[in-house]
Each structure stands twice: as C-alpha cells, then as structure tokens.
C-alpha cells in the first residue's frame, strides 16, 4: 500500500481515539442514567416484602383500673345510688365486678337495718320482712327484678336464641315474668317473716347474707369463659372479665363471711349459714349455665335474674336451718 493511502487512515484512527478519550462518564453511551431522588427505589425481587409494613398499629392497652374506678363501676352499675362511673371499659369492669362484695354488703346491711327499725318500733315480722325485701328493689330501681322477669319470659318462650333475646328486650312483661316475680317475692317475704319471727338477729343476718351472696354471684357469672349473648349492653361489658381464680376466691370469701356472721345467731348456726351461701351460688350457677345454652351467652337481664335467684336460695335454706 502506498504511503499516501496509509496517512489518511492513520489520521482517522487518531481522531476516533481522541474522540473516545474526550468523552466524559456522563456522555458515555454504556452508562445507566442516575435514579431520580424524588422517586422511590424499585423493590428488589430477591428480597421478600416486610409483612408488617402495611399492618395497622396495635391498639394501646387501656391503663389499669384503680380501686376507686372499680368501686365506682360496681356501685354505679349494680345499684341506683348516685355514683358517677368514671370509666366504662373492660379493665374497669374487671375491678368493678370484683368489688361486688362491698356492694352486696352495703345493700344487705341497709335492708337489715330497715327491718330492725320497724321491729323496734313495734311492727310485726311480716311488715319488717316486706320492708326488708323492698330495700334491694329500691336501691336498684327494680333492675334485678326486671331482669328476672325478662329472663323468665325468654326461657319460657321456647323460642330460638335470637327470638328469645328479642322477647327479653321488650318493655312489657309476659305471663312467665309475672308468675316468676310473684313467686320469688312471696318466697323472700315468707322466709324473712319466719326468720324475723324467731329473732331480729336471725332475720338481719339472713338479709345481709342474701344481699352479699346475690351480688357476689354476679362476680362468678363474669368469670373468664362466660360468653355474652349480645355485642352490646351490660352483659357484653362484664362477661368474661374476671379471672376464674379471682371469681372463686371472691365466692369463698363470701361463704366464709356468711359462716362467720352465723356466729351472731349461734355458734352452731355457722355451718348452716355457710351452706346457705353455697346453695345460693349453686342455684345461680345452674341458671347461668342454662341461660348460656338457651341464649348462647349472658345478658344484663340474666345478671339480674342470677342475683335474685342467689338471694332467694340463701333465704330459703336458712329457714330450714
């Protein structure tokens, strides 16, 4: 090849080399463009996504309820006394249902005091018994008696759970409720009249024990594992909130207190008063189990029925003691 043809080709190679050397990294055709800082980076297919990234935050556990919150809840829901309920949640309900003992003791002592005053003023045992039975009804505005009547209507209807619950929610009282109220109130008055006829002490201790066991039966009914028949109402607020051991401990304390109170009548009457308390808890437990089978859970009306059933059973057993 002649030198004249080699020189243009050499010059062309040098131009290409110089052009390649003058190309900056940003101008290189093989370089990928920089990612936009305003756009999020694409996820790496080899790295699995975080399963908790899109999950909502867990709700904060409510703060522990104090004894004051529990007492306010207990007196505000189990009586008609002018007590302002500071908290209405499951934690306050747990402490409140454990405070049913002082509520029952207060109601029972008030009932016994009214009966004793009437006897001191010269009234007969029957009138004292009527007044004693009226005190718990007044202090609860008849809510427990109303619950007893509604529960009797629901059980007596023979309907499925949903229809029976609708019957219980009505404002009127059916024939089963009227009959149940009549017999329960007559049984309470008759038992107290007989006990007052024997001595004021025997009747007063029986009235106090009945009030104590009636409210403590609600603590047992609110133990863990007890379902609520409705998603709202008192039953849904308190069903299953009390630990089982705590509920059994409260019942044992109530039995011991009733047995100790029997010593005010006679030392030999202590076992009878303890057995009366056990009978009250057994009767309420049988009714609660039956209501769970019929209604698929408990309601506020059922709690009222349990209280009246437990108190009546205590009085009836003591008349045989």
Q: Can you list the pairs that 266-269 forms with residues at least 24 positions away whose Cβ atoms lie under 8 Å?
A: 269/321
Per-residue confidence at 172, pLDDT binned at 50, 70, 90? confident
What pTM does this model have? Answer: 0.79
Helix (H, G, I), strand (E, B) or coil at 141: coil
Query: Do 269 and 116 contact (CB within 8 A), yes or no?
Result: no
> Would you list the DSSP string of 150-211?
HHHHHHHH---HHHHHHHHHSSS--HHHHHHHHHHHHHHHHHHHHHHHH-HHHHHHHHHHHH
Query: Do 85 and 79 contact (CB within 8 A), yes or no?
Result: no
The predicted model gives 75-79 an average pLDDT of 91
> Would you list the DSSP string of 244-262?
HHHHHHHHHHHHHHHHHHG
84-137 pLDDT, tens digit each? 888 888 899 999 999 999 999 999 999 999 999 999 999 999 999 999 999 999
How many DSSP H helices and E strands does the chain contain?
Answer: 13, 0
- How is residue 298 annotated by DSSP? B
Whole-number Å distance between alpha carbons of 205 and 66: 31
Residues belonging to the chain: 321
The predicted model gives 136-160 an average pLDDT of 93
Whole-number Å distance between alpha carbons of 154 and 169: 9
23-75 pLDDT, tens digit each? 444 444 455 555 555 555 565 555 555 554 455 555 456 688 888 988 999 99
């Amino acid at each position: 090849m002649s030198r004249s043809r080699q020189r243009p080709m050499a010059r062309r190679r040098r131009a290409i080399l110089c052009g390649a050397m003058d190309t900056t990294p940003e101008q290189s055709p093989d370089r990928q463009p920089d990612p936009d800082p305003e756009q999020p980076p694409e996820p790496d297919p080899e790295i699995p996504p975080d399963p908790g990234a899109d999950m909502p935050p867990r709700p904060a556990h409510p703060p522990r309820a104090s004894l004051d919150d529990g007492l306010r809840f207990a007196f505000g829901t189990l009586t008609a006394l002018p007590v302002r309920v500071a908290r209405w949640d499951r934690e306050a309900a747990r402490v409140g249902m454990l405070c049913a003992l002082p509520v029952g003791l207060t109601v029972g002592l008030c009932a016994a005091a009214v009966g004793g005053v009437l006897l001191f003023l010269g009234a007969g045992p029957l009138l004292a018994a009527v007044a004693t039975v009226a005190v718990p009804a007044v202090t609860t505005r008849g809510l427990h008696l109303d619950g007893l009547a509604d529960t009797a209507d629901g059980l007596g209807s023979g309907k499925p759970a949903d229809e029976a619950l609708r019957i219980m929610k009505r404002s009127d009282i059916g024939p089963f409720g009227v009959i149940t109220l009549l017999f329960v109130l007559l049984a309470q008055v008759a038992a107290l009249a007989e006990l007052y006829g024997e001595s004021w002490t025997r009747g007063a201790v029986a009235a106090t024990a009945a009030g104590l066991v009636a409210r403590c039966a609600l603590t047992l009914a609110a133990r863990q594992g007890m379902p609520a028949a409705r998603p709202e109402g008192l039953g849904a607020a308190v069903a299953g909130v009390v630990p089982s051991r705590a509920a059994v401990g409260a019942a044992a304390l109530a039995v011991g207190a009733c047995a100790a109170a029997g010593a005010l009548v006679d030392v030999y009457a202590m076992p009878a008063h303890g057995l009366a308390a056990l009978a009250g808890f057994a009767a309420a437990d049988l009714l609660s189990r039956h209501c769970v089978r019929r209604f698929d859970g408990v309601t506020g009306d059922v709690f009222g029925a349990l209280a009246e059933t437990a108190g009546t059973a205590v009085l009836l057993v003591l008349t045989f003691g």
